Amino acid sequence: MTDSGTTPGAQDAPSSAPDGAEVTYAWAPTAPAPRKRRLALWIGTPLAVAIVGVVAASLVLIAPGTAVAGVPVGGMTAGAAAEAIQSRLAHTTVELSAAGVDATLTGADLGASVDARSLAEAAYADHPMWKVGGWFSESRPASITLNPETANAALRKVLPDLYTDPTNARVTYQASSSTYVVTPAVEGKGVALAALATAIETSFAKGESTVSLTPTTAPVQAATTTAYAQTTATSLNKLLGTVGFYVGSERTVPVAPAVAASWLTLSTHPDGAISIDADTAVIQKTVDALAKAVNRAPVNGTVVTDTAGKVLSTETTALDGRTLGDTSGIASAFAAQLAKGNGVYALPVTIAKATTTKVSRNIVVDLSTQTATLFQDGKVFRTYLISSGLPGHDTITGNFKIFAKVYIQDMGCFPGAPYCTKNVPWVSYFNGDQALHGAYWHHNFGHRMSHGCVNMPLDVAKFVYYWAPIGTEVRVQY
């Protein structure tokens, strides 16, 4: 018989058997502890995973029962919802009936679009799945737009009678008036896209996949309007009034309106804009002739003064000389300016300054010698015989200035006058009614003959008339 114990750490011990044989004793091994039951863990793990999945989904999905423009998007991500909204719109059928013609198009044919992404994101933001109170909300409206180019192209194919093309306003040069004139635009007609988009939007919001309507027409404005063309013509006419080659502020080489217009080409673009192009090669022909018109030597000027140096008149206007510089590139540069509406081209020139000389002048009438002496810069210039006033009609002595001039007039021809002389020429008044003037009725110069004036030969009187400006000093003496 073998005894077994459960004392931990017991050692084997020898023992004597009844027959004297050696018997070995050993402790029985320790019984293993019973295994714990793990059934609850195996059941709980899938449930926990499912709960985590539900929570995660509720954080990215739109709540059940949510719709955008009649399109159910509950249980979708915002991205999937956006695709569903746009797809539904693209496949919406639009049935049209007009002018005895029936036609069917789709939203895609008309270029219909909606901001599906923003709508879907807004639906999720307002109605996430985790927000149970937001489940089964009312459908959100959507704004539908049609691409004008796509829609009109599709509609024009199936309903051509509803379209009339507008006519652009035109700007042309009119030779008879030397101006640019405008031919007004004529409006056309086409399907009223705004009304069509509203009808699609209304049906789309109701969740309907088919829209039936009779399209209406609306005026279609020309790309180039009359007002825009008039603005362009006004700018061009202003250019025609100033176009030319300038030295400083002087339009040294004007360009005639017809010539300038021949340089320009007007082009109308699809968007209605009018552009201006100038022909460089044609402009070059005018540039080649510029030197002859621009180059000149300086012209010195002369001004007349009194003896005190006060300027009385300009006898010769000073004119600076000038030489045209390098003309290469002028034609292309001017063409670029003209295209922008600027017709003033500043020429490169070298200026040679002119000078101005002052000349003083005065007249001395000597009654004792019956002469008139013209002085220039204090020196005798010329001396002429004259006829002064007769006794009783004396020419008054003193220092005077010419204050008025008359090319020709009658003298003394009024009621009660002692004389009447018609058509007295070259009259220069210096003292009241006394004047230097021509006398055609006698040739007795050097002797007193007048009623107080200073008579001169006709050619002398004419010379003095132009030589002595108003303000010239006249001294009458003995």
At 23 the pLDDT is: 40
Where is pLDDT greater, at 5 or 36?
36
How does the average pLDDT of the chain come out, rounded?
A: 88
Where is pLDDT greater, at 194 or 141?
194
At 58 the pLDDT is: 56
| 125 confidence band (pLDDT: 50, 70, 90) | confident
Question: Tokens for 210?
Answer: 């088919």
Given a cut of 50, whether residue 1 has pLDDT beyond it is no
What Rg, from alpha-carbon coordinates, does the chain have? 57
Residue 342, phi then psi, degrees to nearest 5: -105, 115
Q: Exposure of 441 by Cβ count < 10 A (0-12 exposed, 13-18 middle, 19+ buried)?
A: exposed
Given a cut of 80, whether residue 267 has pLDDT beyond it is yes
Q: CB under 8 Å to 78, separation ≥6 — which residues?
A: 62, 117, 120, 121, 123, 124
| 25 confidence band (pLDDT: 50, 70, 90) | very low
Given a cut of 60, whether residue 15 has pLDDT beyond it is no
What letter would DSSP give residue 70?
T
At 264 the pLDDT is: 98
Q: Compute how many other C-beta atoms are within 10 angstroms of the C-beta atom of residue 183.
A: 13
- Tokens 């198009």: give the residue: 105
Given a cut of 50, whether residue 82 has pLDDT beyond it is yes
Beta strand 179-183 with 67-68 is unpaired
Where is pLDDT greater, at 425 or 9?
425
- Dihedral over Cα of 368, 369, 371, 375: its sign: negative
Question: Tokens for 298?
Answer: 């300086």
| 189-239 tens-digit pLDDT | 999 999 999 999 888 888 888 999 999 999 999 999 999 999 999 999 999
Three-state SS for 138? coil
Amino acid 366 reads D
| Residue 456: closest CA among 443, 472, 471, 475 | 443
Given a cut of 90, whether residue 43 has pLDDT beyond it is no
Between 97-106, 324-333, 461-470, the lowest mean confidence (pLDDT) is in: 97-106
Give the C-alpha separation, 338 to 265, whole Å. Answer: 11
At 108 the pLDDT is: 95
Where is pLDDT greater, at 82 or 34?
82
Given a cut of 90, whether residue 357 has pLDDT beyond it is yes
At 134 the pLDDT is: 66
Q: Decide if 461 contacts 450 (C-beta within 8 A).
A: no
Give the C-alpha separation, 359 to 298, whole Å. Answer: 19
Amino acid 120 reads A
At 52 the pLDDT is: 43
Give the C-alpha separation, 332 to 105, whole Å. Answer: 53
Share of the chain above pLDDT 70, in %: 87
| Mean pLDDT computed over 4-8 | 38
Q: Which helix (H) or strand (E) holds 422?
A: strand 421-431
| Mean pLDDT computed over 393-422 | 94
| Mean pLDDT computed over 43-55 | 45
At 135 the pLDDT is: 85
DSSP letters of 26-50? -PPPPPPPPPPP-HHHHHHHHHHHH
Give the C-alpha separation, 408 to 111, whole Å. Answer: 88
Given a cut of 60, whether residue 51 has pLDDT beyond it is no
DSSP letters of 282-321? HHHHHHTTHHHHH-B--B-EEEEE-TT--EEEEEE--B-E
| Mean pLDDT computed over 100-111 | 94
| Mean pLDDT computed over 245-265 | 97
- Tokens 């863990």: give the residue: 41
> Side-chain half-sphere of 166: how many Cα atoms within 13 Å?
22
| Residue 299: closest CA among 341, 250, 352 | 352
Q: Exposure of 34 by Cβ count < 10 A (0-12 exposed, 13-18 middle, 19+ buried)?
A: exposed
Amino acid 368 reads S
Q: Between vectors from CA 212 to CA 208 and to CA 216, what angle results, nearest 5°? A: 130
Give the C-alpha separation, 421 to 430, whole Å. Answer: 19
Q: Exposure of 156 by Cβ count < 10 A (0-12 exposed, 13-18 middle, 19+ buried)?
A: middle
Given a cut of 50, whether residue 251 has pLDDT beyond it is yes
Between 127-141, 171-185, 428-442, the lowest mean confidence (pLDDT) is in: 127-141
| Mean pLDDT computed over 117-127 | 84
Give the C-alpha separation, 239 to 257, whole Å. Answer: 9
- Dihedral over Cα of 235, 345, 317, 401: its sign: positive
Q: Decide if 373 contacts 437 (C-beta within 8 A).
A: no
Where is pLDDT greater, at 7 or 156?
156
| 355 confidence band (pLDDT: 50, 70, 90) | very high
Question: Tokens for 398?
Answer: 């003193």
Q: Compute how many other C-beta atoms are within 10 angstroms of the C-beta atom of residue 17.
A: 8
Q: Decide if 360 contacts 307 (C-beta within 8 A).
A: yes
- Tokens 């004007």: give the residue: 254
| Mean pLDDT computed over 272-282 | 97
| Residue 189: closest CA among 214, 170, 216 | 216
Give the C-alpha separation, 166 to 188, whole Å. Answer: 4
Question: Tokens for 25?
Answer: 């004793």
| 59 confidence band (pLDDT: 50, 70, 90) | low
- Dihedral over Cα of 460, 463, 467, 469: its sign: positive
Instruction: Provide the whole-model pTM.
Output: 0.61
